[in-house]
Amino acid sequence: MSEALIAVFPGDGIGPEVTAQARAVLERCGERFGFPLRFEEAVLGGVAIDATGEPLPQASLDLARQADAVLLGAVGGPKWDDPQSKVRPEQALLALRRELELFANLRPIQIHPRVVDAAPLKREVLEGVDILFVRELTGGVYFGQPSERRQGAAGREAVDTVVYDETEVRRVVDLSFSIARGRRKRVTQVDKANILATSRLWREVTREVAADYSDVAVEDVLVDAMAMHLLRRPADFDVVVTENMFGDILTDEASVLTGSLGMLPSASLGSAENSFAHRAGLYEPIHGSAPDIAGRDLANPLGSIMSAAMLLRHSLGREEAASAVEAAVNAVLDDGLRTADLNQPDTRQVGCAEMGAAVVEKL
């Protein structure tokens, strides 16, 4: 059996703390299920700027390219926030997504029954919520050119560009339909087609792709309406596919449904010849670097640990281990353990390290 190489980029803020727990979970899975894993760590983001002057040093990019999967913590922090600065930690993330062509960002929104009371919405609204967001990750306004500040006739002006070609749209929409087939067979395409030309292209291409999936229901929803539906009737959605920036915004909103941003994993995938599994990918929690709680053993490692489960599933094809990790997380929550973000009067607060150890213990 060949050894899988996992590149680990702990990054900034709480990144190192949560990533250490996810790595321990992966190591445990390797032992228990008998597959060899090799880990290599490298710098990325603010720590990389400090060490090398660049947010994504060549050595880190090379490591990511060689790896079977990348486990990432978080990037950014006040230390590197100067808006005038030419280098910013976030550039590392964008460059990595782009360089590895990770065009599909999977962000599952599931609600653990024991955590539902920590969410600000009513229990009835949250019952049965199981959404998979597929956010396009390598196009749109994040990468469109020109993107600059300049001197205009009326003074300072700035421009950003939203651009998509049909290939970029088709591959992510097609992946969404193929995933929907294995779920509840519904795809919701979110856009702003009443205003944006790019959105009208998304609609057109979505219709073309849908023709190949007659067993999957499809609808188009405007992004402003979707923002509302997510809070009023979230259980109605199955797979939601959308462009880069709408996906960024809607997934932060959707995270509120689960009670804590700290619980949510993500997988960023590139193309695979014919199957959904076994593709190189980047796995990271949705939460950011949370500098206010960094280094204090307060972070919730479950988003990172659930990301490790996605890594096992999508990049290593280890479904059994992936399900075991998810079951272990549920078991720990059932035992009443909670990090500070989710603690309630009837649960027991634990730190990041203890939460990680509890998951490993269940495995």
Binding site for Mg ion (CB under 5 A): 248
62 annotated active-site: no
Q: Would you say 174 or 284 has its CB closer to Mg ion?
A: 284
Among 90, 130, 297, 354, binds ligand IPM (CB under 6 A): 90
Amino acid, res. 275: S
List 174, 192, 238, 362, catalytic entry: 192
248 forms part of the interface with ligand IPM (CB under 6 A): yes
Binding-residue total with ligand IPM (CB under 6 A): 3
208 forms part of the interface with ligand IPM (CB under 6 A): no
232 alpha carbon, distance to own chain's centre: 23
Question: Which residues touch 245 (CB under 8 Å, ≥6 apart)?
Answer: 140, 141, 142, 162
| CA–CA distance, 166 with 100 (Å, rounded to integer) | 20
Q: Would you say 93 or 352 has its CB closer to ligand IPM?
A: 93
Question: Which residues touch 167 (CB under 8 Å, ≥6 apart)?
Answer: none
136 forms part of the interface with ligand IPM (CB under 6 A): no
Partner whose footprint covers residue 90, from Mg ion, ligand IPM, none (CB < 5 to 8 Å by kind): ligand IPM
Q: Would you say 68 or 248 has its CB closer to ligand IPM?
A: 248
248 annotated active-site: yes
By beta carbon distance, the residue nearest ligand IPM is 90
192 annotated active-site: yes
Partner whose footprint covers residue 136, from ligand IPM, Mg ion, none (CB < 5 to 8 Å by kind): none
Residue for token pair 């979110």: 190
Q: Please list, residue by residue across 37-76, b when 16 or more beta carbons sit within 10 angstroms of its beta carbon and e when fewer do.
A: beeebbbbbbbbbeeeebbbbeebbebbeebbbbbbbbbb
Bridge-based pairing state of the strands 104-110 and 265-269? antiparallel
- Region at 259 (left for phi over 0; alpha for psi -120 to 50; beta for the rest): left
| CA–CA distance, 135 with 247 (Å, rounded to integer) | 5
Q: Would you say 243 or 248 has its CB closer to Mg ion?
A: 248
253 forms part of the interface with ligand IPM (CB under 6 A): no
Residues annotated as catalytic are 142, 192, 224, 248, 252
Binding site for ligand IPM (CB under 6 A): 90, 93, 248
